[in-house]
């Protein structure tokens, strides 16, 4: 078959997708008479026993068994009536079984020939099916060939794919050659193809990513990508043998050119960091990758100078030619980014033989049209096809602007030719949009501007300058140009191309207006192009400043001085940009340069500017004065600025920063009030993203407040005028303030936010209210226990009552609540069951009865058992007041929200699902204890805390701790009755309970040994997993939650959960259109969760996981980390290097609907790293903890031999386990099987690498908990990573302490997936770019850290005091000074790490050391085996 394919002449097929015929040729050799067989282990239908067994009932035992007709196709149910009696139903089941049996019997007669014929016909009908089948079929056929056959065919393969007959396929879509090569890529072992041929195939046949993957593997196998030690001496000019072999680095040479063509700059950088011979090359390349072009150009020049000195007497060795070529090309690129067009033009003219393309690209910017015309004549005969579109564009520039030979009639043809060629080249690029498409997009932008410029010149040539139609067209073009700017992340050279081109035509218009007879009449019109010239220069300078190219910005601004008459507003903007340049680089400026910036402001003549402009100048002057220490003068300047224009946000913000610094040093509350006032005034006239850092400072400064709440009063006084949407990201912090001393003054602020956005405030404050209520009851219970009052078993609240209580429609003033725990306690004392009214109803009502019962006064929480009221604290009363206000203002919305929350009772775990989760948590704790005592693992005893934990599980077996009420009841029934009822329904339950009690009886001999407990936990986890897997995987919403099933937009306009977590610039929020009818039960986060899908009013489906949380404090901690990470996304969007790499954190929406339940945004394509690993172990017949057992077995063997525990022993164990059961290619093999094409695999790997770098950087700098495999969720549809369960690692002293052997997860499997080049290139460069972004003062990461860590340490301190005093402690009781000390220490620790990673002197960064430490086997072997350091 392979000879038939390779030796076939496909020339006559032309551009036809002849892969279809290849498949027919392959299938033709099949034995057609043999019967077809199904793949082993592939279940086609569920067993009949599934439909008739007792396991068909849904969880919680609240619904009828499913009807058979709803589970099977209608054609199988034909003639069967589901309404008949049991006997008829049994007969129907027999008929069904007969039909299925007959179907299986008929299937035996199907032969291979019938199948292959149908398959071939299907391939001929649909090309995508043919492509998919070929990609999977060719590797399987290749695998069955003998070695000799592979050698013979491998020799024929290169000549086949490079045949000239296939050139016509270059513009075919889909390409048969590309599809053929996709199958070749997946073959193991790979056929041998020369690197130069792979490079040709990648460029010619749209096989870019497949060729790059093959070249990477070939270069890695040949040892060309071995990381060179930088301490070795650099090239000294001597001709070593390896330098004389021109084919030595052929694979990496081809890979370098392919990376450059694909615009994969980070991979290209990683390649040259590994293979360069000159250290100057490595430094220059690293600087260039971070956009530091001035330093990069300097080191390229140093490398060129050094090479000249080495090769004065002899030519360079062949293998060095590519590096020398790199210097020239990238030195030219640095010149382009720095705007050195005249230098490049002269350099192009001086080249031997000329460099016409270089002259063409740069001569028009210095208006050397004669040189450009000459270069055009030289370039046209030798122009490659890939450059043809750009050549036509430049020829269009020449034809339109050459003053001696303007040919407008030619320009239109050149525009059309350039457009056609651009589209043609676009179709030759990968199907998925990537960086390879950016140059063509930029070229298209220039082609559009050329066409619009043609309209301008046509109007000028026809003498229509004063005609209204032409002036209208001019205004339209000017407006279009103003709105159509390049992307912020585009290189500065592209911005310069656009602005330089526009300035040419603006100048032509100015000349045209000056040359008209009506000079005075056209004076106003003539100023319009002058204004646009100045504006384009200022915009270019502003972009250069934001790209940190300050010298380019200053040079660009100096060009405004050459314009004869500049409008006042443009003069102001020019000086403003110059001052901003000084301020932005003030950290690296000397005192003389700061004085120079101040002198520029002071010497500016302000009489021509308006008040707003003068006010901003005064504010900038105050910033300079504050830097040089002239504090009094700075304060006067700021005061003058706000007096001149009190609505100028910049003045208020700079004055607030100045006063804030003074307040932090002196703790003078007067200064603090002034700083808060300035910040609040600044927020009134700015956008939400710019206000975040000021609001963060306001929240943090409240920590310094005194007992009279001086600062909080200032906030309450001046918060009016700030849009409520600005406060939405800080609602969690405002709620913390609400329950503290300053809450009395924050109450009005939260009420105003709630009025505008009730859903954003209601769920958080409802959860807080229920949490405070539980704490108050626990405190009351403890007090009663000390007095010898109510028995301990009768005093705990029922969690079901706390989640969904009966509602009261009366107002806050007239409400006299009857607390559920009091009435239930009395009923329990009398021996009567509690009232059913206190239990959540099966179906929710949307009336006002669905609002939570709230206390009416601060003193009345409910009646105690002895008749006295439980006094509600002020914090609880404030929450109650806000909830009542929201209920009164938005009754329909809140009724709908409460109805939704009420229905969540049906999404809770069953007792065995809860027990399984708790056993998994217990096993995780035991494994952590085992690792801490690994030196004497076999003799380690179970700690007392663990014994208590397991004992609670034994006592609540069959009931569950969350479901068991503190009053010993469940669903209105005593616990013993519930257990008895369950035992009568399921005879196996009693045996399970007895066995569970026996297994975890710690009175037995050896029961308290840790390894025995771990064995028993694993046994019961397997038992419960089997029970969980036997249950249905979904249920219908209408069977349980009628309210959710009937919900629509007509019910209420409720936004999708989490819509307000990150405010949008456009105030559009997606609303719930309906809840999808089916709820899935899936395994996620080591527990069984329900996936609820919601359809928005935009038609999109939003899946959410309903997660049961047992640890309230922990889940709040995770949400704080997610809040901080979401804040950093704004920083990444605003920085050029991170924006260019499309670096953004993927943050799932997390909404707590009650203290024990929350909704987490899900993705259908989500798969965790742990699930991939378990899938691999299952396929290989290994247990999920096989490697952990193997680790401790080998460790015990070493200890039994008397060998002390050492790194060498751990390293040997690590290597043995990796070689025996956990290879480093698990993730890579999974990705290759999951993604069909090389482009999909490449894009997935690229996204995965970027997100791993972001994740690793945050884990290190923020001192986060370790990233376990089950926490790392990979999106198969995009390659992004989400992480929901990160928390700050805080030790017992209250310090951030995440000092682990490895700084973040970079295990062998991840290293293999992202490749060696990925580690030295994208991973490293992305980390450096992110660190350099976050460290910038303008993003004020420190302020956001202080505001969020304030909540973290308040909660931590509260928990510590409760553990020390063994009593409940209110949040208001936490000492402010202690919080300030802890937060300051934590922020200092984080910023120190961040500053160290952001340092980039001589292209050396500590990120390199960080990656080395994370990937070192010596460090990985010291990690806990439960962390899976191999994976």
Q: How many CA atoms lie within 13 A of 733 on its CB side?
A: 27
Query: Do 1011 and 940 meet the contact criterion of CB atoms below 8 Å apart?
Result: yes
Residue 1296 DSSP label: B
Of 129, 220, 89, 137, nearest to 1319 (Cα)?
220
Q: Is the pLDDT of residue 813 over 80?
A: no
Average pLDDT over residues 1170-1184: 90
CB atoms within 10 A of CB 709: 19
Q: Is the pLDDT of residue 575 over 80?
A: yes
pLDDT computed for residue 970 by the predictor: 39
Query: Do 1288 and 1264 meet the contact criterion of CB atoms below 8 Å apart?
Result: yes
Give the β-pairing of 1166-1168 and 1157-1161: unpaired
pLDDT computed for residue 964 by the predictor: 46
Of 619, 599, 600, 601, nearest to 611 (Cα)?
619
The winner for highest mean pLDDT among 187-196, 793-802, 807-816, 1242-1251 is 1242-1251
- Write the CB contacts of 920 (distance below 8 Å, at least 6 apart in sequence): 1021, 1086, 1087
Distance, CA of 1091 to CA of 1161 (rounded, Å): 9
Could you tell me the pLDDT band of residue 854, with boundaries at 50, 70 and 90? very low
Q: Is the pLDDT of residue 592 over 60?
A: yes
CA-CA-CA-CA dihedral for 1051, 1053, 1059, 1063, to nearest 10: -170
- Write the CB contacts of 231 (distance below 8 Å, at least 6 apart in sequence): none
Three-class secondary structure of residue 6 per DSSP: helix
**Where is average pLDDT lowest: 41-45, 1026-1030, 1158-1162?**
41-45
pLDDT computed for residue 870 by the predictor: 65
Percent of the chain with pLDDT over 90: 48
Cis peptide before 1191 (omega within 30 of 0): no
Q: Which residue has the higher pLDDT, 978 or 1294?
A: 1294
pLDDT computed for residue 1403 by the predictor: 75
pLDDT computed for residue 1257 by the predictor: 95
Q: How would you list the strands of the sheet with 1166-1168, edge to edge? A: 1166-1168, 1273-1275, 1281-1282
Query: Do 1121 and 1288 meet the contact criterion of CB atoms below 8 Å apart?
Result: yes
Q: Is the pLDDT of residue 822 over 60?
A: no
Distance, CA of 1202 to CA of 992 (rounded, Å): 42
Distance, CA of 341 to CA of 361 (rounded, Å): 9
Q: Which residue has the higher pLDDT, 1357 or 860?
A: 1357
Q: Is the pLDDT of residue 520 over 70?
A: no
pLDDT computed for residue 21 by the predictor: 86
Q: Is the pLDDT of residue 99 over 80?
A: yes
Q: Is the pLDDT of residue 974 over 70?
A: no
The winner for highest mean pLDDT among 41-55, 546-560, 987-1001 is 546-560
Continuous H helices in 1298-1375: 1308-1318, 1324-1334, 1341-1365
pLDDT computed for residue 838 by the predictor: 28
Query: Do 702 and 663 meet the contact criterion of CB atoms below 8 Å apart?
Result: no
- Write the CB contacts of 822 (distance below 8 Å, at least 6 apart in sequence): 862, 863, 864, 865
Of 1188, 1238, 1086, nearest to 1431 (Cα)?
1188
Could you tell me the pLDDT band of residue 514, with boundaries at 50, 70 and 90? confident
Of 1334, 1128, 1346, nearest to 660 (Cα)?
1346
Mean of all residue pLDDT scores within the chain: 83
Q: Which residue has the higher pLDDT, 862 or 512?
A: 512
The winner for highest mean pLDDT among 99-108, 397-406, 977-986 is 397-406
Continuous H helices in 585-708: 591-602, 611-627, 631-644, 649-666, 669-683, 688-701
Distance, CA of 738 to CA of 878 (rounded, Å): 7
Matching residue, tokens 């929240």 = 699
Q: Dig out the tokens for 980 from the structure.
A: 């008895």
Task: Give me the residues paired with residue 1080 across strands.
Answer: 1034, 1091
Query: Do 1359 and 1176 meet the contact criterion of CB atoms below 8 Å apart?
Result: no
Average pLDDT over residues 731-757: 93
Q: Is the pLDDT of residue 792 over 70?
A: no
Q: What is the pLDDT of residues 1147-1160, one digit of tens each?
A: 999 999 888 888 99
**Where is average pLDDT lowest: 460-464, 485-489, 624-628, 834-838?**
834-838
Distance, CA of 142 to CA of 128 (rounded, Å): 22
pLDDT computed for residue 857 by the predictor: 38
Rg (CA), the chain: 36
Cα-based distances in Å from 1338 to 123, 546, 1133, 1144? 58, 11, 13, 18
pLDDT computed for residue 588 by the predictor: 60
Query: Do 1425 and 1187 meet the contact criterion of CB atoms below 8 Å apart?
Result: yes
CB burial of 344-359 (b: ≥16 within 10 Å; e: otherwise) equals: bbebbbeeeeebbbbb
Could you tell me the pLDDT band of residue 75, with boundaries at 50, 70 and 90? very low
Q: What is the pLDDT of residues 127-165, one digit of tens each?
A: 899 999 999 888 888 888 888 888 888 888 888 888 888
- Write the CB contacts of 791 (distance below 8 Å, at least 6 apart in sequence): none
Q: Which residue has the higher pLDDT, 239 or 714?
A: 714
Distance, CA of 752 to CA of 746 (rounded, Å): 10
Q: Is the pLDDT of residue 914 over 70?
A: yes
Of 727, 736, 724, nearest to 767 (Cα)?
736
Q: Dig out the tokens for 1225 from the structure.
A: 């290619």
Q: Which residue has the higher pLDDT, 829 or 750?
A: 750
pLDDT computed for residue 847 by the predictor: 35
Distance, CA of 758 to CA of 1229 (rounded, Å): 49
What DSSP string describes 256-321?
A: HHHHHHHT-HHHHHHHHHHH-SSHHHHHHHHHHHTT-HHHHHHHHHHHHHHHHHHTSSSPPPGGGH
Distance, CA of 11 to CA of 26 (rounded, Å): 19
Task: Give me the residues paired with residue 1264 across strands.
Answer: 1288
- Write the CB contacts of 1169 (distance below 8 Å, at least 6 apart in sequence): 1227, 1269, 1270, 1272, 1273, 1274, 1431
- Write the CB contacts of 1012 (distance below 8 Å, at least 6 apart in sequence): 1006
Of 657, 1052, 1045, nearest to 893 (Cα)?
1052
CA-CA-CA-CA torsion sign (575, 577, 582, 583): positive
Could you tell me the pLDDT band of residue 518, with boundaries at 50, 70 and 90? low
Query: Do 1125 and 1258 meet the contact criterion of CB atoms below 8 Å apart?
Result: yes
**Where is average pLDDT lowest: 107-116, 1189-1198, 1322-1331?**
107-116
Q: What is the pLDDT of residues 420-462, one digit of tens each?
A: 999 999 999 998 999 999 999 999 999 999 999 999 988 888 7
pLDDT computed for residue 454 by the predictor: 92
CB atoms within 10 A of CB 956: 19
CA-CA-CA-CA torsion sign (903, 904, 910, 911): negative
Could you tell me the pLDDT band of residue 48, with boundaries at 50, 70 and 90? very low
Length of the chain: 1431
Could you tell me the pLDDT band of residue 44, with boundaries at 50, 70 and 90? low
Query: Do 1343 and 693 meet the contact criterion of CB atoms below 8 Å apart?
Result: yes
CB atoms within 10 A of CB 446: 19
Q: Is the pLDDT of residue 326 over 60?
A: yes
Distance, CA of 908 to CA of 896 (rounded, Å): 20
CB atoms within 10 A of CB 840: 18
């Amino acid at each position: 078959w392979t000879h038939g394919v390779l030796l076939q002449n496909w020339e006559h097929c032309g551009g036809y997708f002849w892969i279809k015929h290849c498949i027919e040729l392959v299938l033709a050799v099949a034995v057609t008479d043999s019967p077809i067989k199904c793949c082993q282990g592939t279940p086609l239908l569920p067993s009949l026993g599934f439909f008739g067994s007792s396991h068909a009932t849904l969880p919680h035992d609240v619904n009828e068994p499913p009807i058979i007709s709803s589970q099977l196709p209608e054609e199988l149910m034909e003639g069967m009536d589901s309404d008949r009696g049991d006997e008829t139903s049994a007969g129907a089941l027999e008929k069904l079984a007969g039909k299925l049996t007959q179907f299986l019997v008929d299937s035996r007669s199907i032969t291979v020939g019938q199948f292959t014929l149908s398959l071939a016909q299907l391939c001929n009908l649909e090309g995508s099916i043919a492509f998919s089948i070929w990609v999977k079929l060719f590797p399987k056929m290749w695998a069955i060939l003998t070695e000799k056959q592979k050698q013979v065919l491998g020799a024929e393969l290169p000549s086949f794919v490079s045949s000239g007959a296939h050139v016509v396929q270059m513009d075919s879509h889909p390409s048969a050659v590309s599809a053929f090569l996709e199958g070749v890529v997946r073959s193991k072992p790979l056929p041998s193809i020369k690197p130069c041929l792979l490079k040709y195939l990648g460029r010619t046949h749209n096989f870019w990513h497949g060729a790059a993957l093959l070249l990477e593997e070939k270069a890695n196998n040949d040892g060309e990508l071995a990381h060179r030690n930088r301490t070795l001496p650099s090239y000294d000019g001597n001709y070593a043998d390896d330098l004389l072999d021109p084919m030595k680095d052929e694979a990496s040479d081809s890979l370098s050119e392919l990376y450059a063509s694909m615009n994969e700059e980070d991979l290209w950088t990683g390649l040259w960091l590994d293979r360069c011979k000159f250290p100057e090359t490595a430094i220059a390349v690293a600087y260039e990758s971070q956009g530091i072009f001035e330093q990069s150009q300097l080191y390229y020049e140093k490398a060129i100078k050094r090479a000249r000195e080495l090769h004065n007497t002899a030519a360079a060795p062949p293998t060095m030619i590519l590096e020398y070529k790199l210097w020239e090309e990238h030195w030219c690129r640095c010149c382009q980014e720095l705007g050195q067009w005249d230098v490049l033009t002269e350099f192009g003219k001086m080249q031997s033989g000329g460099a016409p393309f270089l002259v063409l690209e740069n001569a028009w910017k210095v208006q050397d049209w004669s040189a450009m015309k000459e270069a055009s004549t030289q370039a046209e005969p030798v122009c490659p096809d890939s450059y043809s579109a750009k050549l036509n564009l430049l020829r269009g520039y020449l034809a339109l602007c050459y003053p001696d030979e303007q040919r407008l009639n030619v320009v239109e043809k050149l525009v059309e030719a350039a457009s056609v060629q651009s589209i043609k080249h676009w179709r030759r690029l990968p199907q998925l949009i990537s960086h390879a498409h950016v140059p063509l997009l930029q070229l298209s932008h220039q082609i559009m501007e050329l066409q619009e410029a043609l309209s301008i010149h046509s109007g000028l040539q026809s003498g229509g300058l004063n005609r209204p139609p032409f002036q209208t067209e001019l205004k339209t073009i000017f407006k279009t140009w103003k709105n159509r700017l390049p992307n912020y992340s585009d290189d500065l050279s592209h911005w310069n191309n656009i602005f330089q081109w526009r300035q040419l035509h603006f100048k032509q218009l100015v000349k045209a207006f000056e040359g008209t007879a009506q000079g005075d009449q056209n004076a106003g019109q003539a100023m319009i192009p002058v204004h646009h010239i100045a504006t384009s220069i200022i915009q270019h300078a502003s972009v250069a400043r934001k790209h940190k190219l300050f010298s380019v910005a200053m040079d660009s601004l100096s060009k405004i001085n050459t314009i004869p008459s500049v409008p006042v507003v443009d003069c102001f903007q020019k000086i403003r940009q110059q001052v901003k340049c000084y301020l932005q680089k003030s950290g690296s400026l000397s005192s003389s340069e700061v004085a120079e910036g101040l002198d520029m402001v002071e010497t500016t003549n302000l009489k021509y500017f308006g008040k707003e402009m003068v006010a901003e100048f005064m504010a900038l002057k105050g910033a300079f004065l504050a830097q040089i220490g002239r504090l009094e003068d700075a304060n006067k300047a700021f005061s003058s600025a706000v007096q001149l224009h009190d609505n100028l946000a910049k003045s208020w913000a700079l004055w607030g920063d100045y006063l804030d610094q003074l307040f932090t040093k002196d703790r003078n509350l007067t200064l603090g009030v002034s700083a808060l006032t300035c910040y609040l005034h600044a927020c009134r006239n700015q956008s939400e993203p710019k206000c975040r850092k000021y609001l963060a400072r306001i929240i943090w400064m409240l920590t310094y407040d005194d007992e009279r709440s001086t600062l909080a009063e200032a906030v309450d006084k001046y918060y009016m005028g700030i849009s409520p949407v600005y406060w939405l990201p800080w609602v969690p912090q405002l709620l913390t303030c609400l329950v503290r001393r300053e809450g009395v003054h924050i109450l009005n602020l939260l009420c105003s936010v709630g009025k505008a956005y009730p859903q954003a405030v209601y769920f958080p404050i409802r959860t807080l209210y229920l949490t405070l209520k539980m704490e108050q009851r626990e405190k009351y219970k403890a007090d009663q226990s000390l007095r010898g009052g109510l028995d301990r078993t009768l005093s705990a609240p029922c969690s079901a009552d706390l989640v969904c209580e009966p509602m009261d429609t009366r107002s806050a003033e007239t409400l006299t609540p009857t607390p559920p725990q009091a009435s239930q306690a009395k009923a329990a004392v009398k021996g009567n069951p509690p009232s059913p009214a206190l239990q959540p109803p099966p179906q929710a009502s949307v009336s006002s009865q669905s609002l939570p019962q709230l206390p009416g006064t601060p003193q009345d929480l409910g009646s105690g058992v002895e008749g006295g009221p439980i006094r509600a604290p002020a914090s609880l009363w404030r929450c109650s007041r806000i909830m009542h206000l929201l209920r009164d203002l938005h009754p329909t919305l809140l009724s709908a929200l409460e109805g939704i929350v009420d229905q969540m009772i049906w999404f809770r775990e069953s007792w065995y699902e809860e027990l399984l989760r708790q056993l998994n948590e217990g096993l995780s704790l035991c494994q952590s204890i085992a690792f801490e005592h690994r030196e004497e693992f076999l003799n380690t005893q179970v700690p007392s805390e663990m014994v208590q934990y397991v004992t609670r599980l034994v006592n609540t077996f069959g009931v569950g701790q969350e479901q068991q009420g503190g009053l010993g009841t469940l669903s209105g029934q005593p616990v013993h009755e519930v257990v008895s009822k369950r035992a009568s329904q399921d005879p196996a339950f009693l045996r399970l309970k007895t066995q569970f009690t026996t297994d975890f009886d710690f009175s037995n001999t050896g029961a308290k040994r840790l390894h025995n407990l771990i064995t028993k936990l694993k046994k019961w986890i397997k038992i419960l997993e089997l029970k969980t897997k036997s249950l249905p995987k979904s249920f219908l919403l209408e069977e349980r939650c009628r309210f959710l099933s009937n919900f629509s937009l007509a019910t209420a306009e409720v936004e999708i959960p989490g819509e307000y977590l990150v405010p949008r610039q456009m105030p559009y929020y997606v609303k719930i259109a309906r809840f999808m009818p089916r709820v899935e039960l899936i395994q996620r986060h080591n527990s069984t969760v329900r996936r609820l899908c919601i359809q928005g009013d935009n038609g999109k489906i939003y899946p959410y996981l309903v997660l049961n949380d047992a640890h309230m404090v922990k889940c709040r901690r995770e949400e704080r980390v997610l809040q901080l990470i979401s804040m950093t996304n704004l920083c990444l969007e605003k920085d050029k290097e991170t924006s260019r790499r499309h670096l953004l954190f993927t943050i799932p929406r997390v909404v707590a609907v009650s203290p024990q339940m929350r909704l987490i945004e899900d993705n259908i394509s989500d798969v965790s790293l742990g699930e991939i690993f378990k899938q691999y172990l299952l396929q290989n017949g290994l247990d999920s903890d096989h490697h952990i057992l193997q680790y401790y077995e080998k460790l015990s063997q070493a200890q039994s031999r008397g060998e002390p525990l050492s790194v060498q022993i751990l390293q040997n164990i690590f290597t043995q386990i990796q070689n025996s059961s956990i290879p480093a290619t698990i993730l890579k093999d999974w990705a290759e099987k999951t993604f069909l094409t090389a482009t999909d695999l490449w894009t997935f790997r690229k996204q995965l690498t970027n997100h791993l770098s972001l994740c690793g950087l945050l884990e290190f700098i923020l001192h986060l908990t370790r990233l376990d495999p089950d926490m790392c969720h990979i999106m198969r549809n995009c390659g992004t990573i989400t992480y929901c369960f990160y928390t700050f690692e805080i030790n017992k002293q209250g310090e951030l302490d995440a000092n682990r052997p490895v700084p973040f997860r970079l295990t062998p499997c991840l290293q293999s997936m992202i490749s060696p080049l990925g580690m030295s290139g994208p991973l490293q460069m992305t980390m450096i770019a992110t660190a350099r972004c976050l460290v910038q003062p303008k993003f004020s990461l420190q302020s956001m850290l202080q505001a969020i860590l304030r909540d973290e340490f308040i909660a931590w301190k509260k928990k510590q005091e409760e553990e020390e005093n063994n009593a409940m402690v209110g949040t208001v009781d936490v000492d402010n000074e202690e919080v300030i000390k802890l937060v300051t220490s934590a922020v200092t620790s984080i910023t120190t790490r961040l500053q160290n990673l952001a340092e980039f002197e001589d292209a050396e960064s500590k990120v390199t050391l960080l990656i080395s430490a994370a990937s070192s086997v010596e460090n990985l072997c010291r990690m806990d085996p439960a962390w899976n350091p191999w994976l």
